Structure 1
Amino acid sequence: MTTTTTKKKRVSKRNKAAWRKHCDITDVEAYLEDQRLEERLGKFEEKANEELFIIDTAGDEKKEQKVEDKPNVKQLSLKQKKRAQLAETPKCFEVLLPASKVPDPNAKRNHVNPAGTKPTALSKVSDKRKYEKGTLAKRVELIKKNKKIAYEKKKKSKSVRQTFDKNLWGDDVPEAKGIPATLCGEFISPEAQLHNVPTTKRLRPKPALPKTVVTRAAVELPHPGVSYNPSFQEHQELLQEVVKHEQVMMRKEAHLHRVTTGMFSRVTQQEKEKQWREEMSAGLPLPHKPEDDKDEQPSDNEYRAINPPVQNKKKDHKARRKQKERLAEKERLKREKIDKKKITDIYKLRKLKAAVVEKEKKQVVLREKRQKKKEEVAEKATPALNAIKPKPREPDFVDPKDLSGDLRTVRHSTNLLRERYESLQHRGALAAAKIMMKKRRKVKSYFKPGHKVTDSDVQKVIDKASGKVTKASRKNGLGTVLRSAGKR
């Protein structure tokens, strides 16, 4: 008995996998494949029979005759082959050529320029600004100058040498290596000669000094109040400057204290333990005390809830109507307030316009002041030779008690060497640097046991470690017991 399998009539096709499984599309794929082949190679109906078929009438005899009667063709040279390949398309550009023979559906296609070729409105405005400032003219001049330099360099490299005074065999002579004539001798070794060669050609050239070094004075004139015998008025002016400087420094210090240490409140150890106990015992049942039983009232063994039950009392029609009326009245008053504000704003337009004009005038004045101040700061600013800025100058001041009026008894308040060093940094001749302090190495002390060590010595070491060493024990021979790790 044979069983025949029949295909299901109704199958779920709710996704692509089901469509591919239960639909036969081989004929569609074959048709599309033939169509793609015709697009690549062309249609067979349009091609001539000579292109598709060849009529062979001679057979094998013609092939043998061709091999025997092969003419002597002169082989092309490598240069001729390369010249013949110039007309061909390079292999690297064959990928860019269209491989399909499908014609363009839009024969009259407009040419589209690539992005960036057409000037935009923003680029036109920027070009106009550059033209007004003169940057475009400078760029053109720079391009011409660079072209001229490149042309002269190329011309110089191609120029033929006219003088023939070079000694081709004189490279090994000491004078050719830059060694002075005074060191050229048979008693001086070549190592000593090369050691004394001038290093100007091997070292990197020193950069030119900044402009600020030339423009600024090497020694700035101090304030007249710094003199050993100043007038009262000049001394008071200097005193006011020092006071202002100290006030600024005090404000900065107070600000740092406020935003760092002042933000945190200090608590005692007892308060800290109390807070920790409260945080750790949060949510835990409190311990039962016998005093709490006295406060409790006698119960009648009846269960009573802590929170009494709430009754779901419904609102009647009157309460709901009153509620709607209150909401409507509230909305009406809100709308009236908004409409009234619109009317008052219309009358305020003139005043608002005057306020805007006044504000713009103030902004123009402030902008000019800021620009002027910025130029002054840029004129006095030190050149940025590195990331570290030089330390600002501290105002020099002599206390009225120290004023003597005589140069022999005057006290020095500043260090001349440090002042000159800081002056070079402020003028831009030297790069500013940070003072790097090395940390002292912590030397560990240890106990070195020995056969001469007694119990009293061990007790002294324990007392010293716990901070109970007396002056008398220090004077004793405790140094023999303690040894420094660095002096081992």
Structure 2
Amino acid sequence: MTQVKKRLSKKTKGSWRKIEHQDVDNYLEDQRLEERMGKVSDKTNDELFVVDTEPTLKKKKKKIGLTLREKRKKLLKSTPKCFASLLNDSKVSDPIAKRNRVRTKEERRHFIAKSLEQANEAKGIVKKKVLRSLSDRARSLEAAAAKQKANKQAVFDKDIWEMGTAAEQRTDFKNDWIEDHVVTHNIVNTGTPVVSVPSSAFHKRSKLKAVQVPHPGTSYNPSLKDHQALLEQVKERELKIIKQEDHLNRVTTEMFKKVSSGERDTFKLNELRSGLDDEETNEIVSDHDEYIAINPPVEVKRKDRKARRKQKEQRELQLALQKKKQLKKQTADLHRLKKLTAEIKVMEKELNDQREKKKEREEKKREEPHRLSKFSFEEEEIDINMPEEISGNLRNITPHGSILTDRYKSMQKRNIIATSKDLGLRKRRDVKRYTRNSHKEEIPQPVKSKKKRK
């Protein structure tokens, strides 16, 4: 035996051993087996070996007790525990030897009805109710067989984004009486995927195409006609911008005259002095302090009968004139019916034109980018090559535009991402640098010389 040096815990007896005890344990185990079962040399071959008649894979396991299915069948035959109290455990016999049994539906039928039914069956006559029930049963069996076949050959070929609401996903809960939130509550724990897709997922953000065909004039080798057409388009766009800037300048800056500082001061002094020189404001103060009104006082005079009669007559006369005018207008309208119909047609035509224009504007507005952020969309300038840039060798042509910028602007235009503003290069803060005390050099200070007193 070799001694093994090993660091172990000294809590157990086995850890105190300093030898390999495995061979000792094996020897002792063999001795115990011989004591219980006897020596192997004394045993016969029939006691030691068994001939296998079946392969090891198909060897049946020994049944230990009842299986789960057998237990369930046994439980079905036995009386439930809830009815155990109703069972008669008494040893006393029933005093009523013969009890009246409830007859079945077939036994309660009249003998005449039974005989008629037997006669009809002999003739081959079947009731309509029986035929309907038989047809319904056959239909239900066919549906069940088709459903079973479909379940066996089930393949997940549905798109979850087209399944709709939770009520539409689950056909068991398709009912007008059940609300959507109740259906979702019931489906959550059934394993059915509850996917409520927003309505915005079923339509495109914009009617514009992802990749628009560029103008043929932007090519590095365009035809003269296409290049001239592109130049004309750019010119119109620039003129429109210049016109807009001129208009804004005209209605803002040019509305006010340019005034020098001297003229401005004189205008201000005249404005401040205008109230002092006005002769109308200088009131003449009277000698006496009594209040004198400018207008004479109003006297309230009571109307007499004559004035009231005149007022009544005037009112009646005005009403009569008003009725007369109304009748005159009605007769005039009758005479100009043809003209009125023509005017109505013109008005209807104008209204229809306005409606069509409004519809065109709305359709055009749908194609325009929406306001998704505080910045409005600004379309990129048209990349154009001047004639001198595309003439000569193709290798010397200067490239214009950027694919990344074009794609980014296209996504903004199609309302996929919000519009933003280019901030450019951000200015970094100046880093404050200082030298450590350990790295500072001591500068020798000049020694002051002491002056001698005289």
Q: Shared fold by TM > 0.5?
A: no
Using the size of structure 2 for normalisation, the TM-score is 0.37
Q: Who wins on radius of gyration, i.e. which is larger?
A: 2
